[in-house]
Amino acid sequence: MKKSFYLLLFVLIAFACSSDDNSGTTDDTTDDQQTTDDGPDPVEPPTKAPCENGVAGIYPCNDYDLFYRMALSTFAAGSGNDSWGWTDPNTGKEYAIMGLDNGTAFIDISLETPVYLGKLPTETTASSWRDVKVYNNHAFIVSEAGGHGMQVFDLTKLRDVDNPPVTFSRDALFSEFGSAHNIVINEDTGYAYAVGADNFSGGPLFINIQDPLNPVGEGGYAMDSYSHDAQVVTYNGPDTDYTGREILIGSNENEVVIVDITDKNNPQNISTISYGQVGYTHQGWFTEDQTHFILGDELDELDFGFNSRTLILNFTDLDNPFFVGDYFGPTTAIDHNGYVKGDLFYLANYTAGLRVLSTSDVATGTLSEVGFFDSFVDNDVASFDGAWNVYPYFESGKIVISDINGGLFIVQKKQ
Ligand SMILES: [Ca+2]
Ligand SMILES: [Ca+2]
Ligand SMILES: [Ca+2]
Ligand SMILES: [Ca+2]
């Protein structure tokens, strides 16, 4: 499943990229990455635009303004993928971190006109898959590129960059694995977990990053199947059996697994849960009170033909999780990565862009859309184009959308 899924993704993304873009060039004009094939379209996408009457320039929207946009050509990249963010604890300045096929871009978004500071090139080859998280002022970066390992980048280097954009160098490399699909960090414990690597059957690798420039491998855990993505928390939810324990929730292709990984030498399976009409169990996120888990499946729209489906699982008792309901969005797009902040779920919905869903009624299995910004104007079809990831955790309220085809979008709820 894994390999064929990747092959399918690769073919679709390669097709999408080759069909309509002129990316990968080094000129720094803001090329139109959204050109359609059905006739001339002279409308230049805006760099900044308020959301008015349902559009921000050319981008369909509801209640979210376009604060700034940078095309892939700005980054001399062929495709975008994951994203995250860093806030400088000394200055409060906010930086977007965007994964690219050929590296990782760092952008100062604290200015009215954001500045592309530079790129950390891929450790080995280019790849459609890159993933990044942040801990203690360092970025930790993995990729599906063969032999890549985990790059560590000291983010304080972004404070003073002369003549941007520059080419950055990594500050450390952890090479006890090669490729990995995702990286997860528990900021409370200082552990990084690479998942979807070749080691431990694709289960999590335990990497102590408490000293960020000197990561230490502490083994791993092979589960029943490959782990595509995961969240790891220091548990503080309603199930007092696990208070203070380090809990991993793995999205493992055909089910969600809950594992107590407090003891790295002796992880304990707690439970597993699947659901109806499984396509590919992809990624999910706890609500802040850790009562529910909001889950995405990446192939169900393609396999079953329904609109974007988001599943809601009740995790009140980690030993007995159960399905409570599913939410179907307004489009046929596939859902990808989603994150909870407060009582909102921010979803990277591929061709439907960013979707913002209220979780106020999550206990009854209900979500409701309260806003959106569609970074992919061509359509809303079930394809692997558009918004790969969103990062909603900046104090300012700025939200990063990393779009596979369109590059970096910074959006903000209408004031
Ligand atoms: Ca990810
Ligand atoms: Ca889905
Ligand atoms: Ca329990
Ligand atoms: Ca769209």
Q: What is the CA radius of gyration of the chain?
A: 20
In angstroms, what is the span from residue 179 Cα to ligand 4's centroid? 31
In angstroms, what is the span from residue 299 Cα to ligand 2's centroid? 6
Scanning 138-184, the segments in alpha helix (DSSP H) are none
Q: Which residue has the tokens 């591929």?
A: 350
Residues 49-68 have a mean pLDDT of 98
Which residue would you say has higher pLDDT here, 39 or 145? 145
Residue ranges per structural domain of the chain: 2-21+47-413
In angstroms, what is the span from residue 311 Cα to ligand 3's centroid? 21
pLDDT at 223: 84
The share of the chain scoring above pLDDT 70, in percent, equals 90
| The model scores a pTM over 0.85 | yes
- Give the whole-angstrom CA distance, residue 156 versus residue 86: 10
In angstroms, what is the span from residue 26 Cα to ligand 4's centroid? 27
| Ligand with an atom nearest the CA of residue 378 | 4
Residues 10-25 have a mean pLDDT of 38
Residues 46-69 have a mean pLDDT of 98
In angstroms, what is the span from residue 307 Cα to ligand 4's centroid? 13
227-247 exposure pattern, b = at least 16 Cβ within 10 A, e = fewer: bbbbbbbebebebeebeebbb
Residue range 322-377, pLDDT digits in tens: 999 999 999 999 999 999 999 999 999 999 999 999 999 999 999 999 999 999 99
pLDDT reading at 145 higher than 60: yes
Q: Categorize the per-residue pLDDT at 12 as very low, low, confident or very high, splitting at 50, 70 and 90.
A: very low
pLDDT at 224: 73
Closest CA relative to residue 209, chosen from 231, 195, 229, 189: 189
Assigned token pair, 297? 């499946």
In angstroms, what is the span from residue 341 Cα to ligand 3's centroid? 25
Residue range 152-200, pLDDT digits in tens: 999 999 999 999 999 999 999 999 999 999 999 999 999 999 999 999 9
pLDDT at 37: 54
In angstroms, what is the span from residue 406 Cα to ligand 4's centroid? 11
| Ligand with an atom nearest the CA of residue 307 | 2
In angstroms, what is the span from residue 223 Cα to ligand 3's centroid? 21
Say which CATH architecture domain 2-21+47-413 belongs to.
Answer: 7 Propeller (2.130)
pLDDT at 130: 98
β-strand pairing of 115-121 with 166-167: parallel
pLDDT at 44: 79
In angstroms, what is the span from residue 347 Cα to ligand 4's centroid? 14
In angstroms, what is the span from residue 312 Cα to ligand 3's centroid? 19
In angstroms, what is the span from residue 213 Cα to ligand 3's centroid? 37
Which residue would you say has higher pLDDT here, 84 or 21? 84
In angstroms, what is the span from residue 71 Cα to ligand 4's centroid? 17
